[in-house]
Every structure is written in structure tokens, then in C-alpha cells.
Structure 1
Amino acid sequence: MLVSLLVNSAVLLLLGAVFYAAPSPHLSPRSVPFGVRVPPGRADAPEVHQERRRYRTLLLPATAVLTAASLGLGALTDSALVGSVAALVLCGVATVLWLRAHQALTRAKEEGDWYQELRQGAVMDTSLRTDPVRMPWLWVVPSLVVLAVTAAAGAFAYPELPDAMPLPERSPSGTVYREVATTFWSAFSLVFAQLAVTLTMVGAVAAVLRARADVDASRPRSSAAEYRRRLSLTARSLLGVGALINLMLLGLSAMMWSGSRSGALLAVVVGVPMVLALAGAVYPFLPMAKGRSAEADGEEDTGLVARDDDRFWRAGGTMYLNADDPAVLVPKRVGMGWTVNLANRRFLAGGAVLLVLAAAVGVVVALG
């Protein structure tokens, strides 16, 4: 129970740290504080600093109170479910504070007419179509090697497996083990999961390589070069994350086949790859990885600023809806990476097909 309480507290503190860092200009674009598009000259405006300070001043005590309450109530009720509820409450608090800051900056921009007499424009990097960043297929090899090793180990162990195997799962009281009947599908379930992870990561990289470029209208050449470099690094990072997840699934498969119920071993098998995967996913977006483009030296300012496109962003700048935009993936306003154009017809059609397939699989499983 003590381990579950400590894990839940660590999760709450980690959530608090993520929410605290979210409005930082190092983790979100400087020109869209709290999801509001502002001219570059206003990115460090007093209103922006005030809202960022107010957001963090209210978030810190909320995180401390919820963490303390989670520890106290969890110990009294002997339930780890308290930590999950506290995490949901913290997410709600952070959402309310973010939306309040978003609305305040929107009002300040409108009342101050921040875009008055500014030339708005948009630029594109057409070289991403004529000379695109290539899929780094060599980085798919580690995932395939781990998948092959897991499948071979499973084939070797399968004839000697007992009639039932322990499968770890979360419950209100912490991690418990459920006995599952040994069949081909249950024994190799995590191998199929590895295959799904590998295909998903390859598909995600292919989609990201076709995403709309994040190019600064005021310095198009240097920002396009920086984006291309970050795109290449992100592609390799995503495939590396896939290999680490497959490595974790290899460890879980070995524990399941051997009948191990060791909590310490489970923590290592899951924790180490996930921490490394998180670091790999974040690294391409850190300042140290972005570097500086050679084109930035001596590049003349075009005099343009990015278009004020707030009307296409909803939910505090987290959801993009623009039916006239052919891009399926666009750069995020909040956080790092890309987000989906929820009004894109190709995305809607693909989502509908996936829902139909999922429903069909569910029916087949239920009837079979």
C-alpha cells in the first residue's frame, strides 16, 4: 500500500510540474501564450507575464493541497483510488486556470488592438514536398529486432507454459495479478501489441513528415531550416520510443511466461523504458536540440507577422477546426509537437472507417 501511495503522490507532483511548465515559452510557441496568437513584439508584454504568474501562483498551492490530501485519505481508506481522483481534480483545476488566462489575454489583445497597422501573412516551405525529409527506416530496425526476439522466445517457451498465467493489472488497492487461461492468443498477446506499436510509430512518423510546417513569417529561411532539422530529429525519436515500448513489452512477456509476480521487477521492467521513452519524446523540442540555423545569420526581417487565426482554435487553443485547411496535422499551440485538424474531411473519413472497423471487431469478439 505504501508503494501505491508514493506512486500516486509522484504522479500528482509530476502532473503539477507539467502543468506549471505548460505556459513556458520553452515548451510552447512564444507567439501563442496560453493558446492566444499575439504579434512577436507582444510575446513579452506585461499582460502575458501577469497571466503566467497568476496561473502558476494558483496552481502551486492546488498541487500541494491535492498531493497532501491524496496521501492522507489514501492512508485512511487504504485505497489507491484516491490518487486517481486527486489527479483528475488537478487536471480540472489546471484546465480552469488555463481557460481563465486564455480569455484574459484574448480580451487584452482585442481591447489593445495589438494587430493594428501590422502586416499579416503566411509562408510555406515548398521544399518539404520537392525534397522531403525521408523516413529513417534504419531506426525501425531496433523495434523489429525486439519484436523478433520476443516472438522467438515465446515460441520456445510456449510448449512448457502452465494452464494459466499471471497478468498484472491496476486496481483500487494497487497492482494485482489476474490469472488468464494459456492459449496461443493470450501467450502471444504482447507480441501482437509490439507489432501494433511498431506499425503505429511508423504511421505516426509518416504523418508527421507530411504535417504542415511551422515556419515563421518574419524569418522564413532560418525557421524553415530549423523546422526541417527538428522534423528529422522527431522522426528518429518516435521510432526510438517505439523500440523502448517494445522492450518493455518483452520484459512483461517474460514475466508472464515465467509466472513472476515480483513488484520490484515489474517496476523496473515498466519504469526504466517508460522514463527513457519520455525523455526521447521530449528531447527534440528542448532548446538544446533546436540549435541555430546558419540561415539565421544576416537574414532580413520580412516585416510580416503570422496571421491572427484564433477563430480556428477552440478550448483554450488546444483544438484546431478549419475545414478549408487541407492539412491533417498542424503545429500545436499548447505544448510540443502536432495536433489534428478536427474539421479536415480526410481525418473525419478515416476516423469513421476506424470506428466502423472497431465496432465490427467488437461484434465478432462478442459473437465468437
Structure 2
Amino acid sequence: MTGPLWLNLALIAFTAATFASAPALARPTLPFGVRVPARRTGEAVILRARRRYNRGIAAGAVAACAVVLIDEIAPEVVLVGLVATYSLLGGLASRAIAAAKRQEGWYAGARQAVTTDTSLRSDPVRPQWILLAPAVLLTVVTAAIGLAVGTANFSTVLTQILVVVLIPPLTIAISRARPEIDAAQPSASASRYREYLHGVLSLLLVSAGCVTATMLVVSLQLWEVVETTVPTTIVGYLPLLAAFIAWIVFSVRAGDAGHRLTPTGDEPETRYEQRDDDRYWHAAGMVYLNRNDPALLVHRRVGTYWTLNLGHPIAWVVLAAVAVAGVLAGLGIVTLPEKGA
């Protein structure tokens, strides 16, 4: 976070906005990661939790800006403290709602059910692989330029290759992850989720092209093919900025798991409530652990992304691989791309 004062303040504002938007984009039946019946979404304890959370977000942002302006504490420390504070606020809100839910028996008498959509297996949402073509092409072009200039530093090309190699399996895994379907509105929620999944997969493939485009410009600067100037650097990072903005716009329009999207056709609500599965979710709906669930990836209760089911053995293999890669990078065995290296 070291940098100009305006950048430090902007990062604080962005962090506050990100945490503040999370409850607004979450599904109404999952306030702060707690599963509640649809008829209970307007409970006073939920409204109070949101008000306290929002006041805490604002107060934390003001305090962080004041500390940065005083310039006695490293901005990085301020940002880490702000994230920790906001996470604590979310955890407290989640605990308050969960406590009220237990004490007042919100699910007493409710008919709980789980719904699935078999058409997502017989007629799945297929990734548009053509969208990955720009990433592959840009990687090839970057490698060809590197060979032409006779450079010995291909770290940026390796990063591009890593993106191109990892994005397809991630796309396939997400497309086959357990769908988020509401037992109260099975057809409507399945329709929304299908549209949402299509948008996520398309954005993921397009983002791969944006990353490789930025790495192409970084490579040209690194190999001194083009001069490293402020305008060149800005142009180089425009693809990443475009991808970032696209994800934000999509997240706001679709909402968590696509619940803001308009379903195809109307459907009356059923007499069922989505099953209360809080016992499998931890850390305010951020961590999922269910040994009886065969799903490896599940959609998190907050945000436009998925998480690993820590009750699945393969999840620990994936985490171990990531940890090994991190250790190797830390020891310098695996060299990460570094501008100006």
C-alpha cells in the first residue's frame, strides 16, 4: 500500500466500499452468511445488524484515513487492520442473527427441502471456449517477441502460460459445481442461476485475455522493446482495469448467485423453505465443511465466487499444492515475474 497519499486513501475507500456492498448483494435469505426462512428476512435483529455493520464500516474508514494522514503508521498495517476490523464486524453481525434464529426458533414448523436441477447435467451451461482464444494468441505473440529479441527472462511468458493452463480446468470445475437453487422457487432460481453461471464463465475466459494483454505490455517494457513511461504503463494496465470494472458491474447487476436477475417465466412460491445448513458453514459463511457432500466446489454465501468443500479429500490436495507453490516461490526456487528484473 506504499505510495502517494491519494492512492492510500483510495485503497481505504475501495476496501470500505467492498465490505459495505457485501450485505446488499447477498441473497435476502442469507444475511451475513446465516440461512433464514424467507418470511424472516425483515426481522428487527437483521435490520439492526445491518445498521451497526454499516456504521462500523464508515467509522473504520474515517479512522483509517485519519491514521494515514497522520503518517505515523505504515499504510500496509492500516489496511490489514481495516480488513481485520471489517471481518470482525461481519462476524459479530452473523453471530447476532444466528443467536436470534436459534432462540426464537425461526425454522420451527417450516417444511425444509433441497432442490436440484437435473437439466444442468443433461443440458449444462457450456463455456464459450472461443473467448479464450485471445489469451492463447497473446501468449504466443509474447513468446515470439521474446525469442526474437533474444531475452533470457521469460518469467512474464510463464505467467501467461500459467493463466492459459489454469483457467480451463477452473472454468470446467465451476460449470460443474453444485448449483444454487432455492426450494421456495425452484424453477425461477434455476433459471437465474443458469444465466448467472453463463456470465461468470464468460467473464472468467475474457479476464484471461485481459491478464495476458497486460503481461504482453509488461514484457515489452521488461525487454526494453518499448520505453517504460507513464502513458505506456497506463495503457498496459487498461485491460486489467476493464476486467475489474466488468466484474463489478456484473456482480451488482446479478447479485450473489444471480438472485437479482430476472427469471424466465413466473412461478408461485412453494410451501418449502431451503434447508437450514448452517452447521456446515463457518466463519460467517466463508468456510464450508461437509464430509457427506460430494461437491468439491460450492458457491460461497457472500460474493461472486466459489470455495472448496473442506470435507472433500481433493480439497486438501489442492490446498497442499498451493502451499507448496507458495513455499517454492518464497524460497526463490520458482521465480515470479517482477517488473524491471
The TM-score with structure 1 as length reference comes to 0.83
Is contact 1:28-1:333 (8 Å) kept?
Answer: yes
**1:293 counterpart (239, 263, 266):** 263
Give the letter for the 2:184 counterpart. Answer: S
Residues 248 and 120 of structure 1, relative CA distance in 2, 3 Å threshold: same
Alpha-carbon distance between aligned partners in 1 of 2:67 and 2:176, rounded to the nearest angstrom: 46
Deviation at 1:361, TM superposition (A): 9.0
Q: Which residue of structure 2 lines up, in the alignment, with residue 325 of structure 1?
A: 293
Residues 155 and 350 of structure 1, relative CA distance in 2, 3 Å threshold: same
Greater Cα radius of gyration, structure 1 or 2:
1
Deviation at 1:327, TM superposition (A): 0.5
**1:109 counterpart (82, 85, 101):** 101
Give the letter for the 1:208 counterpart. Answer: I
Alpha-carbon distance between aligned partners in 1 of 2:326 and 2:84, rounded to the nearest angstrom: 30
1:239-258 matches, within 5 Å, as 239-258=205-224
Secondary structure of the residue aligned to 1:230 is: helix
Alpha-carbon distance between aligned partners in 1 of 2:53 and 2:121, rounded to the nearest angstrom: 41
1:209-228 matches, within 5 Å, as 209-228=175-194
Residues 35 and 243 of structure 1, relative CA distance in 2, 3 Å threshold: same
Alpha-carbon distance between aligned partners in 1 of 2:86 and 2:128, rounded to the nearest angstrom: 37
**2:282 counterpart (314, 337, 352):** 314
Deviations 1:321-357 (A, max 9, x none): 1011000111111222221111212222344456567
Alpha-carbon distance between aligned partners in 1 of 2:313 and 2:244, rounded to the nearest angstrom: 32
Alpha-carbon distance between aligned partners in 2 of 1:212 and 1:329, rounded to the nearest angstrom: 7
Q: Which residue of structure 2 lines up, in the alignment, with residue 344 of structure 1?
A: 312
**1:68 counterpart (66, 69, 72):** 66
Give the letter for the 1:145 counterpart. Answer: L
Q: Which residue of structure 2 lines up, in the alignment, with residue 162 of structure 1?
A: none
1:169-208 matches, within 5 Å, as 184=152, 186=153, 188-208=154-174
1:16-55 matches, within 5 Å, as 16-24=16-24, 27-55=25-53
Secondary structure of the residue aligned to 1:22 is: helix
Residues 10 and 233 of structure 1, relative CA distance in 2, 3 Å threshold: same
Is contact 1:318-1:333 (8 Å) kept?
Answer: yes
Residues 87 and 221 of structure 1, relative CA distance in 2, 3 Å threshold: same
Is contact 1:9-1:83 (8 Å) kept?
Answer: no
1:356-367 matches, within 5 Å, as 365=333
Is contact 1:331-1:337 (8 Å) kept?
Answer: yes
Q: What's the RMSD between the two structures over aligned residues?
A: 2.5
Q: Which residue of structure 1 lines up, in the alignment, with residue 338 of structure 2?
A: none
Deviation at 1:210, TM superposition (A): 0.8
Deviations 1:234-293 (A, max 9, x none): 1110011111111111111111111744355434423x2222121223344333685322
**Most deviating of 81-90 and 45-54:** 81-90
Alpha-carbon distance between aligned partners in 1 of 2:325 and 2:3, rounded to the nearest angstrom: 40
Give the letter for the 2:48 counterpart. Answer: Q
Secondary structure of the residue aligned to 2:132 is: helix
Identity within the alignment, % = 32
Residues 154 and 107 of structure 1, relative CA distance in 2, 3 Å threshold: same
Q: Which residue of structure 2 lines up, in the alignment, with residue 150 of structure 1?
A: 142
Alpha-carbon distance between aligned partners in 1 of 2:322 and 2:200, rounded to the nearest angstrom: 26
Establish whether residue 87 from structure 1 lines up as the match of residue 111 from structure 2.
no
Structure 1 unaligned residues grouped into runs of 5+: 159-182
**2:229 counterpart (250, 262, 271):** 262
Residues 265 and 65 of structure 1, relative CA distance in 2, 3 Å threshold: farther
Alpha-carbon distance between aligned partners in 1 of 2:326 and 2:82, rounded to the nearest angstrom: 32
Secondary structure of the residue aligned to 1:85 is: helix
Alpha-carbon distance between aligned partners in 1 of 2:174 and 2:211, rounded to the nearest angstrom: 19
Deviation at 1:362, TM superposition (A): 8.6
**1:98 counterpart (90, 95, 110):** 90
Deviation at 1:358, TM superposition (A): 7.2
Is contact 2:156-2:215 (8 Å) kept?
Answer: yes
Alpha-carbon distance between aligned partners in 2 of 1:112 and 1:2, rounded to the nearest angstrom: 48
Alpha-carbon distance between aligned partners in 1 of 2:116 and 2:193, rounded to the nearest angstrom: 12
Secondary structure of the residue aligned to 1:305 is: strand
Alpha-carbon distance between aligned partners in 2 of 1:351 and 1:44, rounded to the nearest angstrom: 38
Alpha-carbon distance between aligned partners in 2 of 1:84 and 1:140, rounded to the nearest angstrom: 35
Deviations 1:286-315 (A, max 9, x none): 3368532223x1x23221111111111111
Deviation at 1:317, TM superposition (A): 1.2
Is contact 1:5-1:83 (8 Å) kept?
Answer: no
Alpha-carbon distance between aligned partners in 1 of 2:3 and 2:229, rounded to the nearest angstrom: 13
Secondary structure of the residue aligned to 2:74 is: helix
Secondary structure of the residue aligned to 1:294 is: coil
Structure 2 unaligned residues grouped into runs of 5+: 335-341
Alpha-carbon distance between aligned partners in 2 of 1:130 and 1:281, rounded to the nearest angstrom: 28
